Amino acid sequence: MSNKAVENILNDKNIRPTAMRILVYQTLSSSETAISLTDLENNFESADRTTLYRTIKTFENQGVVHAIEDGTGITKYALCHAFCNEEKHKDLHLHFHCTICEETSCLTDYSIPKIRLPKDYIAQDVDLIVKGICQRCNSSAL
Ligand SMILES: [Zn+2]
Ligand SMILES: [Zn+2]
């Protein structure tokens, strides 16, 4: 994705497009799977973890990325759909954690089914992680 395209996206989300933010966005957009802060750190020789963490948190607050708890204890991040915004991440889709390659992916075309709750319970957020074997690992096993 070109610098100009990323600049436009960040401006739309009210984020000042610094060189670092553009690079972090490009790293996230080129990754097929969700990435952790450590993955991100390994991609950047010149940036410290704190700077990267702050960048991710800014992205999260402005609806650019969402955090995924995949049960490994390591928070992963992936880009949001264009219709997420800072008030509300509307992008409630399934996440898939592969037990072979240990990658976590967004299944953005598969939304979380409506959850029924007992009377007087109010859901504020739903995370749904499906665990199993991903498409890549499944096809390489054949
Ligand atoms: Zn896999
Ligand atoms: Zn996701």
Q: Label residue 80 by pLDDT band (50, 70, 90).
A: confident
Centre of ligand 1 from the C-alpha of residue 135, in Å: 7
Parallel, antiparallel, or unpaired for β 104-111 and 93-98?
antiparallel
Which pLDDT score, from 0 to 100, does residue 84 have? 59
Find the domain containing 75 and state its range. 3-141
Please give the Cα distance from 130 to 98 (Å, whole number). Answer: 8
**For residue 109, what pLDDT is reported?**
86
Output the CA 11–ligand 1 centroid distance in Å.
Answer: 35
Q: What is the mean pLDDT of the chain?
A: 89
By C-alpha distance, which of 50, 47, 57, 61 is closest to 19? Answer: 47
CATH (domain of 76): 1.10.10.10
Averaged pLDDT for residues 57-71: 92
Distance 47 CA to ligand 2 centre (A): 25
Q: Give the separation between CA 19 and CA 105, rounded to whole angstroms.
A: 26
- Which residue would you say has higher pLDDT here, 43 or 46? 43
Q: Looking at the 3D structure of the chain, how many domains does it have?
A: 1
The whole-angstrom separation of Cα 18 and Cα 39 is 21
What is the value of pTM for the model shown? 0.84
- Centre of ligand 1 to C-alpha 66, Å, is 21
Q: Is the pLDDT of residue 86 over 80?
A: no
pLDDT on residue 142:
60
Lookup: tokens for 136: 């890549």
DSSP state of 111: E
Residue percentage of the chain with pLDDT more than 70: 92
